[in-house]
């Protein structure tokens, strides 16, 4: 019973998001938000892709996610191999320094990185997001790989050394193939965080053509100024866009203040 309850709690927001993305304008504005839509439409998806540059935002998120995940896996495997398998003096101290990186908040690096990026020409590039995302995720990657390498029998490495294999060959032909499951774990754990990154993308990316999905969405959330449209339609576009990208958005809550702002936006639109 407990497992079923946990599954329902996890699945319900996604199911509600999917159903809401198919609602019509009238159903969204006046119907029960938790009821099954009386009529289904794909207009929300088509308008989200047409007006929101969704494909470009998803492509940028994909580039950043793949780039950062590759760096995390390669650097994490090599660092863990040196620390756990090869070993050297003060290796435990170096491992402890890596683990300390887990508790470092990303906010303290924003201003220094912005200044450095502007000086070396990395500002407003994919690398400006990939590098810090990989760096802040690397400590967890090193920890996971080190924990796995600890259980690989030392006799396996000794046998390879007796056969004439050097450290690089042992890493490429023995350690790396055995690390497939850990690689998948590291990629899955970090990809969710990287795909949903907002703080680095919002700080270091200035042009619309390089924005990822979280930072490319705000113009579908606004009901005034340049993007003044029917706020109820905007709400449906938010749900269609969020589900199309596979990312449930926290902004989709229907609190009282949001409804009041929406009503005010509707009044301004009708008055104009």
- Total count of domains within the chain: 2
Domain that includes residue 173, residue range: 55-209
From 209, 240, 259, the end of a domain falls on 209
Kindly state whether residue 48 falls inside one of the protein's structural domains.
Answer: yes
From 194, 209, 224, the end of a domain falls on 209
Kindly state whether residue 104 falls inside one of the protein's structural domains.
Answer: yes
Tell me: the pLDDT tens digits for 219-270? 555 554 444 444 544 554 555 555 555 443 433 444 444 445 445 544 443 4
Please give the full DSSP string across the chain, using - where no structure is assigned.
-HHHHHHHHHHHHHHHHHHHHT--HHHHHHS-TTSPPSS--SHHHHHHHHHS-HHHHHHHHHHHHHHHHHHHHHHHHHHHIIIIII--TTHHHHHHHHHHGGG--GGGGHHHHHHHHHHHT-TTSSHHHHHHHHHHHHHHHHHHHHHHHTTS-HHHHHHHHHTT--HHHHIIIIIHHHTHHHHHHHHHHHHHHHHT--HHHHHH--SGGG--HHHH-GGGT--SGGG---HHHHHHHHHHHHHHHT---GGG---HHHHHHHHHHHHHHHH-
Tell me: the pLDDT tens digits for 17-61? 888 888 877 777 776 777 777 778 888 777 777 776 788 888 999
């Amino acid at each position: 019973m407990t497992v079923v309850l946990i599954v329902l709690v996890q699945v319900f927001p996604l199911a509600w998001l999917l159903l809401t993305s198919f609602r019509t304008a009238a159903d969204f504005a006046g119907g029960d938000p938790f009821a099954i839509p009386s009529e289904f439409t794909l207009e929300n998806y088509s308008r989200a892709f047409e007006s929101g540059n969704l494909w470009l935002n998803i492509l940028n998120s994909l580039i950043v996610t793949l780039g950062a995940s590759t760096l995390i896996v390669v650097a994490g495997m090599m660092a863990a191999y040196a620390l756990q398998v090869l070993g050297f003096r003060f290796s435990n101290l170096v491992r402890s320094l890596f683990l300390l990186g887990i508790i470092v908040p990303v906010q303290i690096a924003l201003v220094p990185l912005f200044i450095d990026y502007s000086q070396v020409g990395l500002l407003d590039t994919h690398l400006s997001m990939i590098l810090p995302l990989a760096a802040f995720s690397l400590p967890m990657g090193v920890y996971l790989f080190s924990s796995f390498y600890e259980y690989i029998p030392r006799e396996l490495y000794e046998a390879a050394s007796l056969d004439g294999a050097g450290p690089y060959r042992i890493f490429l032909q023995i350690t790396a193939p055995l690390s497939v499951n850990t690689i998948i774990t590291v990629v899955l754990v970090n990809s969710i965080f990287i795909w949903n990154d907002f703080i680095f993308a919002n700080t270091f990316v200035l042009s619309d053509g390089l924005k990822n999905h979280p930072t490319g969405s705000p113009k579908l959330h606004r009901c005034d100024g340049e993007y003044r449209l029917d706020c109820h339609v905007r709400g449906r576009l938010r749900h269609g866009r969020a589900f199309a990208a596979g990312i449930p958005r926290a902004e989709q809550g229907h609190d009282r203040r949001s409804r009041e702002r929406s009503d005010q936006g509707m009044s301004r639109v009708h008055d104009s």
